[in-house]
Amino acid sequence: MTYDFDLFVMGAGSGGIATARRAAEYGAKVGIAENSGRLGGTCVNKGCVPKKLLVYASRFPGLMTDAVGYGWSPVESTLNWDELITKVNDEVKRLNGIYQRMLDNSKVEVFHGHAQLIDAHTLQVGDRQVTADKILIAVGGEPTRPDIPGIEHALISDDLFNLRPQPKKMVLLGGGYIASEFACLLNGLGVEVIQVIRRDRILRGFEDELRNEIQNAMIAHGIRIITEASIECIEKTDDGVSLRLRYSENAEEIIADAVHLAALGRHPNTAGIGIENTKVELDAKGFVQVDKYSQTAEENIYAVGDCCGKMELTPVAINEGRAFADTMFGGKSRLMAYDNIATAIFTTPEAATVGLTEEEAIARYGEDRITTYRSRFRSMYYVLPGKDEKTLMKLVVDKETDKVLGAHMVGDYAAEIIQGVAIALKMGATKANFDATVGIHPSSAEEFVTMR
């Protein structure tokens, strides 16, 4: 049978675009559909990129204060919030144009509209019906609004990047990395921040010492963190937004300019895309079920990225998509490997991690088999400014094999440092390999090769 496309991709986020371009490189005729009006998905439009730009902006006040410790005269500066938000959004628009040109150059046909499966090989995109030999579902996910009275008054990330005027006081709901990152960047931009979490600590699932280090630093930097709290309701008032909550047998009402629903769960965008017209299976939460080759129960339909619910990270979606394209169209069969994927938390202080946490390593191998090396110190940079900012580094090692199972860091440039360490872990480096490596002095990174 002849089809309109060799591959049709539903969703032009990071995973979808990477797959489309890689398949086209191998000579496949590819179409891709996006109904949001913007290419690049969550990461480019309302996630990684605009967030990181705001993180950079939030760190200038600290740098200007630190400069005094190095002999520079004090600087008085104010933030033009409108100018910052405008420039961030202009950069997002610029990237959208780049993605369009990349797809055009790859000869991928772009459909701006909602794609819906009619059957295993047919899709309805706007007023046009197309057929494809293979179909890739890459529709991503979006924040979940929990069942809380008045939750419609809470902002999500999309709203924050267009929020005007600058809020003076904001409440962030959630203890994950998104909420914690926003709490830190808003605090750095001069907003009074209150973070409300349901547990006793932020960043569940990350290394315990890392969680403690970041939470204590956030509190020291002026962020109020309310732990083990339940949210009773949110109300719109003449003074802003009212949040009523209960914690430690106390009840409190907080009035703020805005309440941000930063991290109370995400769900896949699989509703309304015609899954029921195929054999594709979803789990109870709506995530697409795939095998190790990203294949669904419908043999010609595949899925990658956040809609699969594995690791909701942009580089993971990109690599899943490229592995699929290499296998299906490039004659280079390969699998996506989910071990030793590095990730960063762009809080202040920054954190990054790769491999197993100490707790995970003990659970897997037993406490007697695990040795943990750690170093906690004040970076040389903070000596002259007189700040008590600490850097934490950890290596988790298997005693029997000497293999480094995990590396974790809290401190300046943690993401840049851990990226290199991740290569070593991916190659199976041992503690002896770390010890044999000559450090760069003076640097914080050298601590990873001098720990004893």
Rounded average pLDDT over 397-410: 98
Domains of the chain by range and CATH?
A: 5-143+267-329 (3.50.50.60), 151-264 (3.50.50.60), 343-449 (3.30.390.30)
CA distance linking residue 59 with residue 168, whole number of Å: 18
- Condensed to tens digits (0 to 9), the pLDDT of residues 180-202 reads 999 999 999 999 999 999 999 99
The residue count of the chain comes to 452
What average pLDDT is seen over the chain?
96
Strands (E), 113-181: 115-119, 122-125, 128-137, 141-143, 169-173
Q: Two tokens at 178?
A: 């998104």
The DSSP 8-state label assigned to residue 71 in this structure reads T
- Measured between alpha carbons, how far is residue 211 from residues 31, 48, 206, 305, 411 in Å? 43, 21, 7, 26, 12
- Rounded average pLDDT over 219-229: 97
Note if 221 is an active site residue.
no
Percent of the chain whose predicted confidence (pLDDT) is above 70:
99
Please check whether residue 114 is in contact with residue 270, taking contact to mean a CB–CB distance below 8 angstroms. Answer: no
Strand 30-34 to strand 5-10: parallel, antiparallel, or no bridges (unpaired)?
parallel
Q: What is the structure's pLDDT at 264?
A: 62
Each residue of 101-117: b (16+ CB within 10 Å) or e? eebeebebbbbeebbbb
Q: Which of these is catalytic: 114, 121, 260, 441?
A: 441
User: At CA 170, angle to CA 169 and CA 171, rounded to 5?
Assistant: 135
What are residue 242's DSSP bridge partners?
235, 255
Within 141-207, residue ranges assigned H as helices are 157-160, 177-188
Q: What is the reported pLDDT for 391?
A: 98
DSSP string, 374-385: EEEEE-GGGTTT
Coil/strand/helix, residue 390: strand
pLDDT-above-90 percentage for the chain: 94
Tokens read off for 205: 């699932």
Residue 146 has pLDDT above 90, yes or no: no
